[in-house]
Structure formats: structure tokens, C-alpha cells
Amino acid sequence: MRATQTAGPVYTAAWVTWPGRVRRCAAGGPGVRGAGGCERAPARLAPCALHWPLGAGAAPGPPALCPPRGARPLYSAPLPGPRQAACHGVGTARRAEPRRQTPAAAAAAPTAAPRRSRCHRAPKATMKKEVCSVAFFKAVLAEFLATLIFVFFGLGSALKWPSALPTILQISIAFGLAIGTLAQALGPVSGGHINPAITLALLIGNQISLLRAIFYVAAQLVGAIAGAGILYWLAPGNARGNLAVNALSNNTTPGKAMVVELILTFQLALCIFSSTDSRRTSPVGSPALSIGLSVTLGHLVGIYFTGCSMNPARSFGPAVVMNRFSPSHWVFWVGPIMGAVLAAILYFYLLFPSSLSFHDRVAVVKGTYEPEEDWEDHREERKKTIELTAH
């Protein structure tokens, strides 16, 4: 059945199903149309994309069928074009014809904001595109520099100068000030992880890609070794000591030390996730200050047990430079990573879960995810470029 040219709007029926047998006519038994009866029809029609002009039958519907009781055909407004018709599930064989407008009406019609539909996909992003971008290498470089500076200042505050031995408060404040300063300075470039445990936790929380996490962790470990090496070279031998290598103290067993590191890193990770969450509408103050205070808090307690690591890179750097890997060195990896991962699971999956679909989550890990707002911005920029080129 083809659409006929009539005056008035054309309505489209989409995905209509006629269950069971057709209704019998009021006169009893099937009859022909025009004699008060109805034609017999198959018990079920395929999903249709047919167009019926208004007024072709007794009601705005199929002109030769009377639907049974309870069956309600679905009608929509005239579809603007074949592409939009395909998006609404209409068959490709018979799509709605685009409505013709006069130039004056087209100019007066308001332009709606472009919406991303199934027919308008964003440009396909690839993992290679992320790695080869300049922003990616800037972020990796920022993680390297931030960890180098953090380890240098943190370990430097713990040097045992003969004139004045460091205090617990001095070391705690120095570590907190260092992390807060670097988060404020380099956080906009890379996110300011400066900690392999935080990076892995953000990967588990579906916040960064796997490839970015690998590059970040490598940059952090190399930066920690570089920072410890520079400090070792600058510090005199009588003040260098063991370069503040983490070690268990006060009869702390490896199991208890791991629990201590887990708790310390857990509170740090929760503070980072909460203070940097862009979804929050309540005032968060300064994230850098909050993170710095969290690091200071951890050192005020953890130094008495393990020297306070909360960061595998901080423990790995001086251990490599001094070549002092104790049998309990694993504590400073397992404890912080477990604490940060548990915080990520609690925050990103239980307390404040994300609305991303499974497909989008996989795309985030692969590094191919492109948020809709970014795609819209890209589309607007491309449209402006085309307009400028045309003129």
C-alpha cells in the first residue's frame, strides 16, 4: 500500500502488531468494506512502515482493517527524512518522504541543537589516537616531574643532619606540603596522581585507560628513582643515612604493617576521589589543600609503624638507590594498592556509581571513549571551520 497525496498531515504507524483474529463485523461474519463489514486479514502483520493519509478510513489508521479490541496502533508525527525514519525503526523499503517547506518557512523555523542519535555516531576514537597525542605525553611527563619533586622534598625533610635531627611533625608537614603543591601545579596536566596506588585505583574505578595507567606507573617509578638519586648525590654522607628507606619499627609485624598501610592509603584515596569529583555540587574547597592535609594526617600516625609509605613509588625510589630491599618490602606495595583499590570500589561503585553503560566502561579502559559533550564540541568546531572555509 503506497502513500497517496492528500491535503493535511500524514501520520506514520510504526511497529504495529495485530494479535489474534480480526474483529467480526457488527452484521455478523466477514463482509466487504462499505457494506458495514470488514475484510479478513492475517492474524499478524509484520512491523510496518506504511503511511496512511488522514481521512482515508473511518479513523486515522489502516483503511482496510478494523483492529481487534485492545490493539492500539502507534502513530507519530511526520518524520522529517529517510535518515530520521531509520532511526525511529521504520522499514527501509518505505520511508517517510521529507516535508517540503518554502524558503521563508525554512528560514523562520528555529534551529534545534544537534542531538546525537543512533544514526549520527561520534568519530571513532582509537587507542593509537590517545597515545600519539601531545596531551598524553605532557601528562606522562608531568607525572614523572611531580613524583621526582615529591620524593626529593619528602625524603629531604627526613635527612639526619647533625645540627638538628628531623621531627615527626616536620616530616609530616613536608610530605603534605609537597603533595599539595604538586597537585595544584601539575594536577591540571595529568590529574596529579603521583602515586601508583592511586593510578591503579582510578583504573579499577573506570576513570582512566589501561594504557595511560601503565605509562603513569612507569613514569612515577622512574621519577621516584631520579628524585632519590638527585638527593643522594646532593646530600653529604653524614646526613644521608639510609635515605629514609621505609622499614618496620616498634616490633610491627609485616601483617600489621600491611593493615596500617591499607588504612592510611584508604583515607587518602577517598579524599582524592571525593575532592576531585566533578559531579559534586556541594562546595569542595581546595582539592590540593585537602589532599595535602590527608597526606600529613597519614604521616603523623604511620611513621611510628612503617615510616609511612602510602605510595609504592616513595618506597621504591630510595630502596633502588640505596640497594636496600628488606624482606618486608612487599608491604609497601600490597598495603597501599589494596587500600586505594578498596576505596575506589566503595566510592565509584557503591557510594557514587557512574551512569556509564558497560560498552562505555570498556571504551574507557581501552582509551577509545569520547564523552558526548566532547563530541558535540568537536562537531561545532568542525562546523565553524567549514563555514569559515566556505566564505
Domain containing residue 238: 127-375
Q: pLDDT value at position 124? A: 57
> What is the reported pTM?
0.65
Q: pLDDT value at position 390? A: 52
Q: Does residue 216 lie in a domain region?
A: yes
Confidence bin at 28 (pLDDT 50/70/90): very low
Any residues with CB less than 8 A from the CB of 124 and at least 6 apart, and which?
368
Residue-wise pLDDT for 185-212, tens only, equals: 999 999 999 999 999 999 999 999 999 9
Q: Does residue 309 lie in a domain region?
A: yes
Q: How many CB atoms lie within 10 A of CB 380?
A: 12
Q: Does residue 334 lie in a domain region?
A: yes
Q: How far apart are CA 228 and CA 244, in angstroms?
A: 10
Q: Does residue 53 lie in a domain region?
A: no
Q: How far apart are CA 323 and CA 159, in angstroms?
A: 17
Structural domain tally of the chain?
Answer: 1
Q: Does residue 266 lie in a domain region?
A: yes
* Nearest alpha-carbon partner for 180 in 267, 262, 296: 296
Residue-wise pLDDT for 312-352, tens only, equals: 999 999 999 999 999 999 999 999 999 999 999 999 999 99
Residue 222: give its domain's CATH number: 1.20.1080.10
Q: pLDDT value at position 357? A: 86
* Nearest alpha-carbon partner for 279 in 186, 383, 353: 353
* Nearest alpha-carbon partner for 202 in 139, 249, 248: 139
Q: Does residue 24 lie in a domain region?
A: no
- Stretch 76-89: mean pLDDT, rounded? 43
Grid cell locating 380: 561545532
Q: How far apart are CA 126 and CA 118, in angstroms?
A: 20
Q: Does residue 5 lie in a domain region?
A: no
Residue located via cell numbers 579502559: 365
Phi/psi for 167 (5° steps) reads -105, 165
| Cβ atoms of residues 324 and 240 within 8 Å | no
- Ranges of beta strands (E only) in 292-333 are none
Confidence bin at 259 (pLDDT 50/70/90): very high
Tally the C-alpha atoms within 13 A of residue 72's C-alpha that lie toward its C-beta.
3
Q: Does residue 139 lie in a domain region?
A: yes
